[in-house]
Structures are given as structure tokens and as C-alpha cells.
Structure 1
Amino acid sequence: MGATAWQEMVVVVFVGIGIVAVGAAEFAYDGFAGAGLALDGMATLTPAGLLQLTNDTIMPKGHAFHPEPVTFRRPAAGAGGAAAAAAMSSFSTTFVFAIVSEFLDLSTSGFAFLVAPSTDLSTAMPNQYLGVFNGTDNGDARNRIFAVEFDTVRNPEFADINNNHVGVDVNSLNSSAAAPAGYYDDATGAFRNLSLISREPMQVWVDYDAATTEITVAMAPARSPRPKRPLLSKRIDLSTVITDTACVGFSSASSIVLVKHYVLGWSFSLDGDAPALDYAKLPKLPRIGPKPQSKGLTIALPVAATVTVLAVVAIGVLLLLRRLRYAELREDWEVEFGPQRFAFKDLYDATGGFKDKWLLGAGGFGTVYKGVLPGPGAEIAVKKVSHHSRQGMKEFVAEVVSIGHLRHRNLVQLLGYCRRKGELLLVYDYMPNGSLDKHLHCREDKPVLSWAQRLHIIRGVAAGLLYMHEDWKQVVIHRDIKASNVLLDGEMNGRLGDFGLARLHDHGDDPQTTRVVGTMGYLAPELVRAGKATARSDVFAFGVFLLEVACGRRPVEEDAGTDTDTDTSDCFVLVDWVLGHWRNGSITSAVDARLGSGYDVVAADLVLRLGLACLHPSPAARPSMRQVTQYLDGSAPLPELPATDMSFTTFAGMGRYQPLFDSWS
């Protein structure tokens, strides 16, 4: 077949007096030069004939589909020759791909072959969702999507087995079957690992037998024969998944690490083996690494070396001055944290020398600057924190690095750190829509957040906290949950950030923190009394956060006058105000007045009562974050609040007094 051959064959079969049309289709691309693929996002065809799904752009997604939909069901013969219900066809596909990362040992998500009802995946998200699903529809049977993923990041939220695996996905990125990427050697039967990010071409074979409902996936280095033993084999009835007519293609997405996903060739067939690919016609991958030296350079090098010697002294002086300018504080114990350690020069250049025009904000714990990393162009946020004491620094940096391994769509990614003189610099993903508190409280220059946006943000932060408290390999206590530490990405998803005060401990162990840290108005009573932060003290702060988002008011407001139903002093306490409305049977009257009637009364009632439940003076009486998420998504009813005359002012008011902060405890 040619580079983009498409065949449609119709066989007329006489059964008794009936006629049944059986359709079979196949196509093959030995390279994609001139191919009429349906492309969107950052997917493109290179002049060399490569299908490039991702490029040097951060975060977007890319899709490429065969231009013609495939009819997966054909009429079957019924009794007496009458046409019966359409039967699902078997299918087979093979393709050669390569993943090229800017780093040999680091990648960003992966890509997937998929069969989808249409080519419109506009609601899908990038990053770990591979441009196929999003945080709402992942797992929804109405997706009608079958996919085979090649994932290079381990996402615990999807129960990924490792950061180099192949998975069979049905309507969800929680794979129905998964295996480490590789193949079984035909001669020895031994398993041979394949690194998906090796920059080497690999071939994949995916087959579905409609009669046995068996899916098989095999892979091997390009130009190698298909292994006899498949990598994956799973029985799934795809007749309940794939629509009668569906689109076949590829999806991928990018993240903070720049990765290019290439497809070199691809073929597909219904009710038969996919056509073999002609390796001689497949395009070559672009050259990776430095260009080889020419003969002319070889001759010129001695001359250049002589000139270089003459400049050594001058260059040495310049380098010495430069070194002093960008001097960092490094100790022997930091060697193991190398990949998470940023060079100060890179951060200095990224932020324009930490100039004011790059300043995003400043607070009690430091200043935050926007930056753009040299080379990849990744946008980052750099927080500068003072650290004049070396006591506990090794343990603190170890925890910073550990927290950097957290991976969740509702957490701001902590990328690493740098130490210089009396400063610690923490590097995060940049969130273009800034912090939530600016949208809640800076009323002049920000549009009012709708109720739907607020509820979406609340649910997202709750999901992130659940992951930190219960679903990660260790318990992570944030210790500073507040609206200013919830950042909004480009799609207004809420992401909990600023882990500078966070602490870790193993599941089942007792947390060892002993100092009061946090922000006034959010501190749990037991934290103020004993200085011991726990997951339940995080829940208390989350309860204050719920009220703040729903009411659009800060936890404590000075000089509030008599603008409350319960407070006659010169200090407004949000918790007491909401509690007063609840006692009067009008709790939804506390909802942000700027919303008018444009909010869901039932949902607002739930959020406000849940906030009060999280603020119970007794830590044991507060719900866990798993219970919180169940209440928010309606999978469990929120228990009635106990009738009590207890005031929360005592506890919320404790936040008015500046605690003894110690960031390194």
C-alpha cells in the first residue's frame, strides 16, 4: 500500500433469500507525509513525515485521528436469512512510536492509542489525563472510550503500577490491566524491560478478538519481530464500550518537563491482521544531542586552543566574579538531593534578578516571584524564605524533597529548592490565575467568583488534602491551609500550594511537630494549646476555608463595627457569625451577598454546615478528609450538627495573636 492507503471492501453474501453487507476496512501509514489526519491541539506532521503529538509547549494536549470514522459493527444473519443485530468486529492495529524527553531519566505523562466516539476531546485535560479524560468524567461509562496508554509518570490517584507502564483503559485512566513496559524474549522466555523514554523507536501491536472478547497488547524494539507471548492479555467485552461508528487515533499531553511524542508509522484493520509496516519507508527521528565535529573543526581546534590560552587570565577573573555573584550554600548531605536542587543562577536569570516587576506577592513567610526557566521556557514561582539557623536544615530539606514527589491535580507541584547565604528558595509550578484570596477579597479588579466555581475549587482542595492525608505513601500535614495558599490554574481549578510548613510522618505514627505555626484565624484550639499539628488540625483550617469561600469574608476582620448579628466588638469573627445564622435557622443568609440569588441553596447549606462540623472544638469529633469528600459529592449524608450554645470565638479568636513561628520545627 501507499503512504496513506485506504480500502473499503463490501462483500455481498446470500443467506437464504436475505442479503447481508459485511464491511471491512484497513489503512496503513508508512510515514505521514501528505497524510490527511484530523489534528488538533499541538499535534502536527513534520516535513520529514513524523506524526508529532507534543512539542516544546508546556501543558497543552494534542490529538491525531484517521480522517474517516471506522464502522465497528456489521449486520449479522438472523433466522431465515433476516438481518439480525449488528455484531462487534474484531480489530488489529500496530504502530511505531518514540518518546523523546529533554532528560534521559525524566518525562511527563505519556500518550495513548484510543478508540473514541468522536474526534472532539475539547473537555479533556493535559498532564496525567493524557488529553483523554478530565477530573469529572474519568471513570464515566458514558465516555465510550477504549485506550491503550503508554505512561511515564506514576499517578497514585489512578493506581498506576510504576512510571514506565502500559495499560488497557476503558472509560478511565484507572487501567483494567497494566504491566511494566517490555516484552518476553521468544528464545528464553525472560522479560526484557523497555524504557519508554529511551528515545528509541518501539513497535506496538494491539488486537481485539470479538469472539473471545480478548484484548492483547505486545511491544518490542522497532524492527524486531512480534513476540509470541503478549505483554498484556485481558478479556473485556468492547461491544458495550465502542460505539457502532468510532474514530481511531492517538492522544497525548505535555507538562513541566518538555517531551516530544512521535509516531513513525501506523496501520489498522477490521477482522484481520493490521498490514505490516515497511520499515524502509518509515521517517527517521530528528537527531538528538550535539552535532558531530567536522574535519575543518578538527584542524582549527589547535589554533583556537592557542587563542584560548591567551584569554585564560581574563576569563578566570570574570568567572571568579561571576561565581561570587551566584554563590550558593551547599553541604555534603545535599548530594543525594541533586535532581531537586536548582542552581541559583538559573533562578536568578529566570526571575530577571528577582526584580520587583516579577514580584507576585509577599507575606510573613517570604516573597514570591514569577520566573521563566532558561531553555525549556517553563513558567515557575520562586518563594524566598529566610533561614539564618542551620539547626534542623538537613531534615527540613529532606522533607521538602519528599513533598516534591507528591503528584495530584489539585496540588501545586513543588519542583525543588536552592540555598544561598541566608535564604532558602522553594520552586513551584506557576499558576496563571493567582491565589484564591485575591478573587475573594480584592473586589475592585476581579470578577465575582460564581457559586459553581467556588464549589469546584472547594471539592478540588478537599481531594488534594485527602490525597495528602490518606492516599500517599506518607501522611502530609499542610499546617497552613488558607485561601491565599490555594492557587488557580489556567482553567480555574483550585490547587493547594505553599508546602513550606508541611510535615510528614508514616501512616500510623504520631506526628512530632511541637511548635505553633500557621496563620491567624485558621489555627485549631489544640494546636494553640499544645503546638501539635495533626491531620485533624488541617481539617479545622479547611473548615475555616469553607466558610471563607462561601461567605466571601476573611476569618477575622478588624474594625468591623456592628456589621454582624453576633459580634458587638470591633473585631468580626467569621465562625461566630455563621454559627449565629445557623442557630437562627438561616445559615444560607451568610452566603456572599455579591452572589445575589445566583447560588445553589442546598449546596450552600451543605458547605456552611460542613464548615462548622470541621470546626468542632474536639479534634476527634471532626470528620476526616475522606468523609469530607463523601459529604461534598453526596455519597454520604452530612450528620446534623449537635445543638449547643458553645461559641467558637474562643478558638477562632486565638488566631488573632501572633504565634511563635518557627518554620524549621
Structure 2
Amino acid sequence: MGKCMSQAMISKSLVFIFLVQLIAVSSEDGFIFNGFKGAGAKLSLGGLGEITSEGLLRLTNYTKEGMGHGFYSMPIHLKKSSSGIILPFSTTFVFAIQPKGEDANGHGLAFAISSLKDISEAMPSQYLGIFSNGSAKGEEHIVAIEFDTVQNLDLGDIDDNHVGIDINSLKSVNSTPVSYVDDKDGVLNLTLVSGNPMQVWIDYSAMDMKLDVVISPLGVPKPKHSLLSTKLVNLSTVILDDMYVGFSASNGAATSSHYILGWSFSINGKAQDLDISQLPSLPQQGKSKKNQTLLLVALPLAAVILLLLCIGGIILILNRRKKYAEVLEEWEVEFGPHRFSYKDLFKATKGFKEENLLGAGGFGQVYKGLLPGSKMEIAVKKISHESRQGMREFVSEIVSMGRLRHRNLVQLLGYCRRQGELLLVYDFMPNGSLEKFLFDKTRPSLSWSQRFQVIKGVASGLLYLHEEWEQVVIHRDIKASNILLDSEFNAKVSDFGLARLYDHGSNPRTTRIVGTIGYLAPELSKTGKATVSTDMYAFGTFLLEVACGRRPLEVRSVGEIVDLFDMVLDCWKKGAILNATDPKLGSDYVAEEVELVLKLGLSCSHPEPTSRPSMRQVMRILEGDVPLQHSPDGLQASAAAVSYDDSFDNVVLSYPSISDTTGGTESASEVLL
């Protein structure tokens, strides 16, 4: 009996060992996944990343502007401890990209070697979920092999179907269109978004400093010729002793599902071959074919029915086309992000009904919507042809917001034009504008910690606009009503209808004066030039607005207008600057932080443009890395010395942005001619 039990235990052990080898085998030198069932503990998933019931690693589903990650949960030792020399490594994996539509798809996927396992701070779309703005920052060290399915000229992409080698930047050091060499037929092209599984082999030789990438359709033996071979790739400064390996994928306004079917990785040797017979199957795309025999029988009857319905159908189609007719111009093809159909937006907002109206102003109405199919919440800004914003500002918002990507900017998902209507589609911000939490008595007041977090978020977004993007972006209308809050009260800068772009190092052009009274820098009356410095002035006023809970200008009595800047400066001179703090905060705030924000607000709103800090300096001040330099006496002397153009004063009187002590308010952006 003991012998039988022993044999049974051995049999069970063998079965167990076989199953473990079948699913995932790992060691200090590498691992292998023939499908990912039961592999959840060995993978670290992020974003949309998940393991399906079939055992697929799905990095993204059909979520717009989504990204997903799947990394091996343990770090891989890639350097010799004694010499620091990079160890050779090898990997092979099978992937597939299934686009949602025939004419548009997501941005692709990448195999990544990263110093960080958690790269959730990265951005989707063209950044593939591995970088926040196109290049590594801080502690980030990333080597990636990208399988890119959208051409982004900003990043130097050669086409919309290529493989590239990226080292700490999405501007590839080498890239090539996707193909493989067949011994009989020669070079054969592959389409990454075909939906068909493909196998990739990546090998790095530290001795030769050579990185090879090979690709072929699944089932085709590994081609002898490399698709991409880059010599003299010294990764010693990028790869640390311990790194994480895995995958990242992203979608933009158009989407794809990105799958990994199997994966093998090895140090100091060739990666183990995947067992193709054990890989999970991909979901079926499209509808199944109809029974041909039934079709032949039903065809005559169907023809008669179609003939009878033809006239009515044509009329109905023409009417529907007229109802949902849109406009498309040449500039939209070149600059525009994803274009939504008017039909989808009409359904999403329930026909732009009053119950879905989020707000209205001089620039039009904003409606809440739920996209059919994806069930994604959106905000649709509907601008009529009578709007003061007009086509020029609409184009500006399309061009700038359609390409900007930052966690503290409201993401423009797409747009639509129909007859006299212009429509912009944004991420939906559940908590609306910051202005409502500051001035709407029906809403609870934000705590100081929430306000301070909002301030830091807005500063981070403006730093990206002013210094970190490929061009300088001047917002020209920074104020509380243009700061939106997501479900966790994170700040998002919105409304780029007045934005202007120019190249780094060049001078901005003179334009008409635009913005909101109370936030306009005094030098605008003389130069008419919007610069990062004029944005800084508005940001300073915004800081005072948030800390004091007051508008830039207030009417205390008939003919008396109190300037917020002067009020806070007067408190500072008296040694009681905290008296300017919003009374709704009570005593529940950090005095040092409030004092810092008030003084920083005055410094940013300094009458002399050259005395204002840059946004990068502001970030360092908010983090406590550098002190403030201005004194109240110096600020007051500068303010007294600044003179304004008489015509500017007339404009101020004609277009006020004020609140009065009786509770009535008037605050709107004005295009000032």
C-alpha cells in the first residue's frame, strides 16, 4: 500500500511539474510563459493591463487615451556585480494588435527594459505608455523596442508601421518598416495592425554592443536575417544593475486591443523556444460567415424586399445625412486629432438636451455625454457660429490641445464640425471648475491641502506648456474658471481657445489684447505681446485668488474697486499677510504654505515683467528648494512706478471682471480688440 501511495505521489508531482513548466518556468537566468494562465503572481500589471480567462496578457482594450503595462514582477540582474559589464540577454514573444476599426487604430506597443516597475506616470497615445513627454526623466532609465502603428512626425517616425530602438527617448536611434526575409520569396512586408499573431526575437550582445530584432508571422521559423540590427549600442549608462522587463501599449482617440500570447526571457544564453501549440487563441474578429446554401435560397426573396424598400431607404439615408452633415477642410487633415462623427456626439449627449448641459458662457455651451459603445464619459463643447470665439480660436484650440499631453492638462479627445456648429470633445471632469468651489456658496469649500495640491498641479501643467513641450505655448487666460477638477480633485488646465504657440528662442508676435480683466499684465497695454511672463502674471493672480477666496477685483461700494494684489500687499507690509487668507478655511491650514503662496502670488504678479520668476523657479519655490526674493516695499515701489496706457484703462472700465459685496458677480473671458 505504501508503494502504491508513493507511486501516486510521484505521479501527482510529475503532473504538477509539467503544468508549471507549461504555464511559467522561471529561474535566476530567465523565465518562460506559454500563455499566462496562473501567471498573475509573476506579473505586475498596470493601467488597462490584465490577464484574460483564455490566458492572454491584454495590455489595452478599446478604451480611448488608455494605456496598459505588464512587467515581470521581479527585477532582472543585468550587470556583473564585479565589473559592471552588461550581461547578454535574449527574449522572444508573440504579440497581436487588433484595431477596433478598419481605418484607425491605437498607437502600438513596446518591449521595455525599465529601471522602474511602476510607470503609471507615463502618457498614452504617441508616448506608448512608457514616457511622460517623449524622453526619460529623473530616475527613469528605459530601453525599448517599439512596434509603432501611428506616424508621429514630432518624434521622427518614418511611417505608421515600423519597429524602432529607443534609448531614454521615443526618438528612435534606429528604425525600419516591418518586414521579414523568406528564403524562397525574399523580403515580405508585415502589417502590425493586421490582427494576426507575430513572433519577435530580440538579442543583445554586450561584447559586440549589438542589438538585433527579428520578426515573422507566428509559425514561420526565425528568419536568418535581422529586421533591425544596431551596432555600437552602449547601454552601460542606461541599464542599471537591476532592471524590470515587460511590455507597454497605448491608445489615442482611436483604439486597438494589444495582446501578448507568450513570452520567454533569458540572461547569458538564448531564450527558450515558445511552445506554439500551448499559446492561447486570440478573440475572433468580425462576424462569422453566413451559410452559403441558405444565402442562395434567400437571395431572390431578399432582392424583391430590397427593391421595395429602395426608394424609401434612399430618402431616409439622404435625410439622415442632412441631419448629421459635417464639414471637413484641408487644415483638419494636417493638424486635427481624432474626428468624431456628429451622429455619435448627438447620441452621447441625448441630442444636446438641457438635462445634459454642464454650463454655458460667452464661448458656447458644454454638455456631458456618454459615448455609445465604449461608454466613456465626455464633455462636448458646442460653439455656434455667433460665438465670439470664432473659427480662428477654434483652430488654435484644435492645433494646440490636440497634440499636448500632460496629466495636468484637460485632454482634447477630438472634434467635429457641422454646418455652423463647432464641437470639441474632452475628457469629462466630474468636479467641474475650481471657480465653483471658491465662489459658489452651494458647494463645500476646498480644504487648504486640496487647494495647495491644485496650485502645484496647475504650476506643473504650465511648466510643460512654457518649457517642456516642443514649442512654447502661451495660454493667455489662466484663472480659476479655466481650471477643472477630476474625480480626485486633481487640477487640469483647460480652455486653450486663446492660446498662442511659438518656437523656443524666438520672439512672440504682437497680437490683440485678449484675456480676462484682473489677470492681464500691465505691459500688454504697451507691447500687445503675450509671453510666458504675461502668463506668469495671470498665474500670480490665480494664486491670490485660490489662497484668499476672492476675485481679482471687488466692488465694496459705489465707485470703489478693491484690487486683490494691493490688499494682500498691504497685509504683508503690516506684517499680517495671513489676514488675507480665505475666511472659509478657518484655522485649518498650514500657515507656512499659505504665506508662501500669498507671497509667491505677489511675486508672480510683479508689475515689472523681468522681476517675475519663471515657472520652473515657481516649482522649486513650491517644493521649498529655493527662497523667495521680493520684499513688500520693493513690490510697492515697482507698482507705483508702472504707468498704464490710457486706452487700456478705458478697456478695463468697459469690460470688468469683478464681484460685489452683495453677491452679484460678472466674470467672463473677453476678446479685447
TM-score normalised over the length of structure 2:
0.76
What displacement does 1:488 show? 2.3
3-state DSSP of counterpart to 2:516: coil
Paired with 1:75 and 1:506, the residues of 2 have a C-alpha distance of: 45
What displacement does 1:541 show? 1.3
Cα distance, 1:175–1:455 mapped onto 2, change above 3 Å: farther
* 1:577 aligned onto 2:572: no
Amino acid at match of 1:180: S
- Tell me whether 618-627 or 257-266 shows the greater mean CA deviation: 618-627
Residue in structure 1 matched with residue 62 of structure 2 by the alignment: 56
3-state DSSP of counterpart to 2:535: helix
Cα distance, 1:178–1:299 mapped onto 2, change above 3 Å: farther
* 1:220 aligned onto 2:212: no
Amino acid at match of 2:553: V
What displacement does 1:48 show? 4.3
Amino acid at match of 2:382: K
Contact 1:350–1:373 (Cα < 8 Å) also in 2: yes
Which of 601, 605, 609 is the matching residue for 1:611? 601
Residue in structure 1 matched with residue 365 of structure 2 by the alignment: 367
- Tell me whether 540-549 or 627-636 shows the greater mean CA deviation: 627-636
Residue in structure 2 matched with residue 107 of structure 1 by the alignment: 106
What displacement does 1:498 show? 1.0
* 1:28 aligned onto 2:18: no
Cα distance, 1:154–1:305 mapped onto 2, change above 3 Å: closer
3-state DSSP of counterpart to 1:399: helix
Paired with 2:622 and 2:188, the residues of 1 have a C-alpha distance of: 46
Paired with 2:589 and 2:187, the residues of 1 have a C-alpha distance of: 57
Paired with 2:212 and 2:442, the residues of 1 have a C-alpha distance of: 57
Contact 1:388–1:423 (Cα < 8 Å) also in 2: no
Amino acid at match of 2:175: P
What displacement does 1:127 show? 3.0
Paired with 1:442 and 1:391, the residues of 2 have a C-alpha distance of: 26
* 1:548 aligned onto 2:545: yes
Q: Deviations over 1:384-436 (max 9, x none)?
A: 2232499984x555434322222333222223433344432222222233222
Residue in structure 2 matched with residue 127 of structure 1 by the alignment: 124
Paired with 1:195 and 1:664, the residues of 2 have a C-alpha distance of: 51
What displacement does 1:275 show? 0.7
* 1:306 aligned onto 2:304: yes
- Tell me whether 476-485 or 85-94 shows the greater mean CA deviation: 85-94
Q: Deviations over 1:113-153 (max 9, x none)?
A: 456787xx496566367667889x97443x78876665667
Contact 1:92–1:270 (Cα < 8 Å) also in 2: yes
What displacement does 1:262 show? 0.5
Q: Deviations over 1:326-372 (max 9, x none)?
A: 34456687666776543322221111111122111222222111112
Residue in structure 2 matched with residue 12 of structure 1 by the alignment: none
What displacement does 1:484 show? 1.3
- Tell me whether 587-596 or 643-652 shows the greater mean CA deviation: 643-652
Residue in structure 1 matched with residue 636 of structure 2 by the alignment: 644
* 1:521 aligned onto 2:518: yes
What displacement does 1:487 show? 1.6
Residue in structure 2 matched with residue 241 of structure 1 by the alignment: 240
3-state DSSP of counterpart to 1:525: coil
Contact 2:115–2:141 (Cα < 8 Å) also in 1: yes
TM-score normalised over the length of structure 1:
0.77
Paired with 2:121 and 2:150, the residues of 1 have a C-alpha distance of: 18
What displacement does 1:590 show? 2.9
Cα distance, 1:300–1:92 mapped onto 2, change above 3 Å: same
3-state DSSP of counterpart to 1:216: strand
Matched residue count: 619
Aligned pairs for 1:315-464 (under 5 A) are: 315-328=313-326, 340-388=338-386, 393=391, 395-403=392-400, 404-442=402-440, 444-446=442-444, 448-451=446-449, 453-464=450-461
Paired with 1:554 and 1:165, the residues of 2 have a C-alpha distance of: 53
Paired with 2:33 and 2:421, the residues of 1 have a C-alpha distance of: 55
> Is there any run of 5+ residues in structure 2 with no aligned partner, and where?
1-17, 657-667
Paired with 2:327 and 2:150, the residues of 1 have a C-alpha distance of: 31
Contact 1:468–1:476 (Cα < 8 Å) also in 2: yes
Contact 1:179–1:232 (Cα < 8 Å) also in 2: no
Paired with 2:573 and 2:189, the residues of 1 have a C-alpha distance of: 64
Cα distance, 1:275–1:608 mapped onto 2, change above 3 Å: same
Contact 1:183–1:231 (Cα < 8 Å) also in 2: no
- Report percent identity of matched pairs: 44
3-state DSSP of counterpart to 2:415: strand
Q: Deviations over 1:1-57 (max 9, x none)?
A: 85325265xxxxxxxxxxxxxxx5443233335555546454333454422122234
Amino acid at match of 1:3: L
* 1:44 aligned onto 2:39: no
> Is there any run of 5+ residues in structure 1 with no aligned partner, and where?
9-23, 77-83, 562-567
3-state DSSP of counterpart to 2:91: strand
Paired with 2:231 and 2:547, the residues of 1 have a C-alpha distance of: 48
Q: Deviations over 1:606-658 (max 9, x none)?
A: 43333223223344443444444454455655432535345589989975641
Amino acid at match of 1:53: L
3-state DSSP of counterpart to 1:311: helix
Paired with 2:72 and 2:156, the residues of 1 have a C-alpha distance of: 31
